Amino acid sequence: MNDKADRLRRLKPKLPDVPAELRHRVPPGQTVTERFPILHEGTVPAYELNNWSLRLFGEVEKERSFSFQELLELPQVKIVCDIHCVTRWSKLDTEWEGVRLVDLLPLIGVKPEAKHVMIHADPNYETNVPLEDLMRDNVILAHRYNGEPLTDKHGWPLRLIVPHLYFWKSAKWVRGIELMLENRNGYWERNGFHHYADPFKEQRFSDDDYEMPIDEWLYVDYD
């Protein structure tokens, strides 16, 4: 039985081609899917919202922590965007709701010399993003997906959405935003992934010798 399962796993499925009318939206090496694969490092955290907070700190005029309710009281926006995972799947027209970073960060007075951001997330995860990338109108801290609260596996209560970068930059379970003078690599960036991660330039890895199987994402859990 195990030998049969191993043989089936080694088979390379014929993945569908990207329709011609969508190719301008889909980065090279990606497959469009209706699935929402579930990928993350570590176990899914559990929270009591009364004890949950988001900390903003580093190169700021005033460090501050926000409760979940305080975030809900800020201006809320909905975005519809395509998302692209480094494991080679893309999901189009996803809908998210939350708080734009361009609305949140001015509340703490980001110092003008700050150019980089480290996103801190549970469990013990972090990823780096240039500050100017977080200032785009469609970059948000999301708490809802497709009109419903985020599920635990997709980052409840709060995750980052940075549509123009590979999805590992859109960290789940965000707990801290650190403003920095100089760039510093996060978890995956320290382990061979690209420090910036532009999907349309296929910036998957820091070394061209790394490879990513085209079908690995088919074997993970998904919604």
The domain spanning residue 58 has which CATH number? 3.90.420.10
Number of domains, the chain: 1
Confidence of residue 6 (pLDDT cuts 50, 70, 90): low
pTM, 2 dp? 0.92
Section 149-159 average pLDDT: 98
For the residues of 83-108, what is the DSSP string, one character each? EE-TTSEEEEEEEEEEEEHHHHGGGG
Average of pLDDT values for 37-43?
92
Of 13-27, 98-112, 151-165, where does mean pLDDT reach its minimum? 13-27
Domain of residue 139 covers 2-219
Give the confidence band of 4 by pLDDT, cuts at 50, 70, 90.
Answer: very low
Which H or E element spans position 76?
A: none
Looking at residue 13, what is its pLDDT?
Answer: 64
| Residue 121: CB atoms within 10 Å | 24
Mean residue pLDDT of the chain comes to 93
Q: Three-state DSSP class for 136?
A: coil
pLDDT at 8: 44
Q: How many other C-beta atoms lie within 10 A of the C-beta of residue 28? A: 10
3-class secondary-structure state, position 129: strand
The SS3 call for residue 164 is coil
Decide if pLDDT at 43 tops 60.
yes
Give the pLDDT confidence of 175-221 residue by residue, as tens digits. 999 999 999 999 999 999 999 999 999 999 998 888 888 888 998 99
Residue predicted with more confidence, 15 or 71: 71
Q: Alpha helices, DSSP H only, in 51-202?
A: 68-72, 101-104, 131-134, 187-190
User: How far apart are the C-alpha atoms of 155 and 170, rounded to whole Å?
Assistant: 10
